[in-house]
Amino acid sequence: MAIKVARPQVGFGVSTYVGEIVKGLALTMGHMMKNVVTGGRRMITVSYPEQKRVMPRGYRGKHRLTLRDDGQMKCVACQMCATNCPARCIKIVASEHPDNSIEKYALSFTIDLLECVYCGLCVDACPVDAIRMDSGEYAIIGTTREEFVINKEQLMATQPQYEDERHPMTPKEKK
């Protein structure tokens, strides 16, 4: 049975938009005056790209590969991240490691950032905390498709946004 929904009754100010326009303008003018009085210190906008916003913890930015104490990549090339990736944008070539104590490692590891949907499932799937998205990097610029396919070296060189998330530190940084 169809239910009849009564049309809400609105006053003159709402039906002509005059009242709402005045309210909107008052809000905008209020913010402008606040910025004038405080010298812009309370402005919520930043002058990008000269100024870059510090992203909150948990923000999913450009990926990075974490390092072991000896500075090598933590990744054991298990392919869990690539298997879980809904965009199928992670490509890993696994290889035997010259060090017999390490079963295998990623000979090559690439992520196509133009295909990535920044869901974070690769980070969740990793059993050894080898991949993170805590770089805080949100502006990734390039002029060709190839520039957006980041490789192992670029992923290993990417740093976390917050110092206390740099784990583990490289031997050089520990000194």
Q: Which residues bind ligand SF4 (CB under 6 A)?
A: 75-81, 85-87, 89-90, 92, 111, 116-122, 125-126, 128, 130-131
Closest approach of ligand SF4 to the CB of residue 55, in Å: 15
Please say which residue, 15 or 108, places its beta carbon nearer to ligand SF4.
Answer: 108
Please say which residue, 67 or 92, places its beta carbon nearer to ligand SF4.
Answer: 92
H/E run at residue 156: helix 152-157
**C-alpha–C-alpha distance, residues 59 and 64, integer Å:** 13
Task: Say whether the peptide bond before residue 49 is cis (omega within 30 degrees of 0).
Answer: yes
**C-alpha–C-alpha distance, residues 91 and 80, integer Å:** 11
Please say which residue, 37 or 157, places its beta carbon nearer to ligand SF4.
Answer: 157
CA distances to 13, 22, 35, 39, 43 from 29, in Å: 20, 10, 10, 15, 13
Closest approach of ligand SF4 to the CB of residue 148, in Å: 12
Closest approach of ligand SF4 to the CB of residue 46, in Å: 25
Please say which residue, 19 or 168, places its beta carbon nearer to ligand SF4.
Answer: 168
